[in-house]
Structure 1
Amino acid sequence: MNIPHNFNSYYTEEQFEEISANFNGKAEYENGEIVLSSNTSIKHNSIKGNILSFLILYFKGSKCRPYDEQKEVIFKNESELHKYKPDIFVMFDNPQKQGESFITPPKIVFEIVSRSTANHDYITKLYVYQKFGVLEYNIVEQNGFIVQYSLVDGQYQITNTFKTGDVYKSSVFSDLSIDLKDIFE
């Protein structure tokens, strides 16, 4: 897809909406910049499906609900605007919406990293999720490990790294756990 050349590298929200509507992949808005990524791999989709299915069963009948990148989350303040489609995220009890997009920060986010998105996931999204109060951010590497960041006094701390043979345990929901073999099978 050709994105119109913009000499100052700033795109309006309206330009982003037009571009994302015509893009066959994932489009996210990064405070004036557009981040495009191609459709995900079979392995990525398998990992996402495994995590999401566990979360759907875990939260069934509760006030929390997991979503995937089919839904957008808007992180906005007076000087910043970020429109993300996290791979998996958990919202709690009637989150605020703007149209079909959520404007309440999720409680938990899982981003499944690929080579093309690693910097965006490890640096930019980490900063934004921390700033806007996402309580737990999990970076899922496709080679079998998860880095868990938890919000402590407004700052992210790595609270755990899970690898093959481990069991993921949420820092937000104490009884939420998933065996990594069930995630990466």
Structure 2
Amino acid sequence: MNYDYINYYSEEEFEDIQSHYDGKAEFDNGLIFLSSNTSIRHNQIKRNILTEFSIYLKGSKCQAYDEQIEVIFNYKDDLRKYKPDIFVVCDDASKKGESFISPPKIIFEILSKSTAKFDKGRKYDTYEKFGVLEYNLVEQNGFIVQHALIDGAYQIVNVYKNDDDYTSTVFTDLKINLKDIF
């Protein structure tokens, strides 16, 4: 990558671009990542995971959200505004307007060709740094790679496929059969 041609944007410039963009816009320390609308398959997977979590969390102090809601990761000069595909926050999460400013407990990112590098790289590092307890990379062909935060670093704790039951490391009694996701 030739870094001579990278443009850096202020947070205000990002907010202006985001307000006029018909897709997902994310901010990472002056860099802007734009994603087009997602595929039908991506949406089916997202809806299925979100539904399972919504049912499980009903009546609890936690809720599942999707990429329509922004999560702000901010510490000193490090500012990132991401829209995870699916995330879970609880009543102790802080908000700024309609954005969360506390790290979610769990995040799922559904990989696609256009987002996989970002989800496996910058987002992975950010979620680990800011203390997201569980990060799941969802392959649209039927795999979930589960990372748990252990001693401040992510470790792969499970790879789910076929007829496996996904089990959360945060909500240990939550089980979702992969056939209900894919």
Q: TM-score, normalised by structure 1?
A: 0.94
Q: Distance in 2 between matches of 1:37 and 1:61?
A: 33
Q: CA-to-partner distance for each residue in 1:34-77, whole Å, 9 max, x for gaps?
A: 00000000000000000000000000000111000111000000
Equivalent residue number for residue 93 of structure 2: 95
Q: Distance in 2 between matches of 1:7 and 1:58?
A: 47
1:22 alignment partner AA = H
Which secondary structure does the structure 1 equivalent of 2:72 belong to? strand
Matches within 5 A, 1:150-161: 150-161=148-159
Which secondary structure does the structure 2 equivalent of 1:49 belong to? helix
Q: What percent of counterpart residues are identical?
A: 61
Matches within 5 A, 1:89-168: 89-168=87-166
Q: CA-to-partner distance for each residue in 1:101-143, whole Å, 9 max, x for gaps?
A: 0001000000000000000001110000000000000000101
Give the alignment partner of residue 48 of structure 1, picking from 36, 46, 68. Answer: 46
Q: CA-to-partner distance for each residue in 1:140-184, whole Å, 9 max, x for gaps?
A: 010100000000000000000001111111111110111001100
Give the alignment partner of residue 173 of structure 1, picking from 171, 174, 177. Answer: 171
Q: Distance in 2 between matches of 1:105 and 1:58?
A: 20
Which secondary structure does the structure 2 equivalent of 1:50 belong to? helix
1:51 alignment partner AA = I
Let me know the Cα RMSD of the aligned residues.
1.1
Which secondary structure does the structure 2 equivalent of 1:91 belong to? strand
Matched residues, number: 179
Equivalent residue number for residue 181 of structure 2: 183
- Unmatched 5+ stretches in structure 1: 1-5
Runs of 4+ in 1 over 3 A off after TM superposition: none
Q: Distance in 2 between matches of 1:140 and 1:7?
A: 32
2:145 alignment partner AA = V
Q: Distance in 1 between matches of 2:123 and 2:162?
A: 25
* CA gap 1:57/1:20 in 2 versus in 1, 3 angstroms: same
- Unmatched 5+ stretches in structure 2: none
